[in-house]
Amino acid sequence: MTEPAAAPAERVGEDYYQDPHAYFARMRAEGPVTRVIMPFGSTGWLVTRYADVRTALADPRLHKDWAGKLAAPDWAPDEVAAFLNMHLLNTDPPDHTRLRKLVSKAFTARRVAGLRPRVEAIAASLLDSLGARLTAGETVDLIEGFAFPLPVTVICELLGVPAADRDQFRAWSHAIVADSAGQDAFRAAGEGMFRYFSELLAEKRARPADDLVSALIGARDYGDSLNERELMSMLWLLLVAGHETTANLIASGALALLTNPAELDRLRSDASLLPGAVDELLRYVNPLNHATERFTLEPVEIGGVTIPAREWVLCVTSSANRDPDRFPDPDRLDVGRDAGGHVAFGHGIHFCLGAPLARLEGEVAFGALLSRFPSLSLAADPASLRWRRSSLIHGLETLPVRIG
């Protein structure tokens, strides 16, 4: 066992954003539990091997409620800080158990399954608009035309908010997850979303409707319910997580298929492969570099390394999903692969509540895209494409495509 006090922190370079898999492959081989300084200056521990990541994701010694357990004793969050930080992914049992039970009453599998016809209709409408431009010979950004508007329209309709506000949501979301936005932009985005959701909750209390916000307001469990702070945090989490990850899955997945034409043709010729292919794309492109942060309150051993108390830990799910000890030939896209066990949605009690919706949207999106545009191709050299400057999100800035 190594003692971490003697281990210097490795500084992760700016090129991490453009090719994180190169970092992770080296770390899996040389230092699968590595103390690092991220490009934005934060220090933490990267856990990169599949077995260690899966174990760590379910380890109760790795905590989530930093505001309650790590913050200074005299620290009291203001309304915006509470809204941004005190959501389901930043709580531990028993609070997490209570919140997840209440939210699950509104976010049911039946509600998600019933969305398929509407998701298909939204996808068809977007592809109609996209097709008109592509057949006119334009080069189109697939993110702007399809990968972003599909999931954000779905989550807006599910929550009961106007789809016309989706560009504002996107701007707020990008400012919050970007490493380079700065504290002023971060704070401004948080305040904007706080005001928006405050007004939305007041509106839904006055005039409840058949939507998720109204369902969350009405969720009860033996008289228990979500308080205002919990409602606000949950809406922020659902909106951001509900479109960021799926938009990146669609865009990065489309890039993976377009740069692997044999797998693209295989999937196009056998629609029965589609559900499994979505999981393989989740494994292969992983819309998040790592799971949301955890921290230690006591020394914790992971992979033979003892991480001291009061340290941040990042379980690198995208590295785990490329671990050759778990997935043979992991850097090869194989739409027929059994990708079961991938950790793109996490593992343990914080397994993604929206996984069924993301899978549904992925199936609809890729199925519709492949059948509608059999000659779709990239309109740029793949090496020239740029990835967003976010350590959490792994997503393209643009994805130019054309017909032929």
Residue 317 predicted with pLDDT over 90 = yes
Q: Which helix (H) or strand (E) holds 364?
A: helix 355-372
Q: Looking at residue 6, what is its pLDDT? A: 44
Name which residue leads in pLDDT, 291 or 229: 291
Q: Give the SS3 label for residue 396.
A: strand
Highest mean pLDDT among 11-20, 184-193, 222-231, 252-261: 252-261
Overall average pLDDT of the 282-290 stretch? 96
Residue spans per domain, the chain:
4-403
pLDDT band at 180 (very low <50, low <70, confident <90, very high): low
pLDDT band at 76 (very low <50, low <70, confident <90, very high): low
pLDDT band at 181 (very low <50, low <70, confident <90, very high): low
Overall average pLDDT of the 195-208 stretch? 91
**Global model pTM greater than 0.85:** yes
Whether 372 contacts 120, CB under 8 Å: no
Overall average pLDDT of the 151-170 stretch? 86
Overall average pLDDT of the 21-39 stretch? 94
Overall average pLDDT of the 3-11 stretch? 66
Residue 150 predicted with pLDDT over 70 = yes
Compute the distance between CA of residue 190 and CA of residue 201 in angstroms, rounded to an integer. Answer: 16
Compute the distance between CA of residue 266 and CA of residue 274 in angstroms, rounded to an integer. Answer: 10
Longest Cα separation, the chain:
63
pLDDT band at 108 (very low <50, low <70, confident <90, very high): confident
Residue 3 predicted with pLDDT over 70 = no
225-250 as b/e: b if 16+ CB within 10 A: ebeeebbbbbbbbbbbbbbbbbbbbb
Strands (E), 228-322: 294-296, 300-302, 305-307, 312-315
Q: Looking at residue 75, what is its pLDDT? A: 66
Overall average pLDDT of the 268-281 stretch? 96
Which tokens is 369 given?
A: 């895209």
Neighbouring-strand partners of residue 36: 10, 44
Q: Looking at residue 162, what is its pLDDT? A: 81
Residue 269 predicted with pLDDT over 70 = yes
Q: Looking at residue 5, what is its pLDDT? A: 47
330-356 pLDDT per residue, tens = 999 999 999 999 999 999 999 998 999
What class has domain 4-403? mainly alpha
Compute the distance between CA of residue 387 and CA of residue 347 in angstroms, rounded to an integer. Answer: 26
Tokens 């009061």 -> residue: 310
Cβ contacts of 187-190, under 8 Å, gap ≥ 24: 187/80, 190/80, 190/81, 190/83, 190/84
Overall average pLDDT of the 312-324 stretch? 97
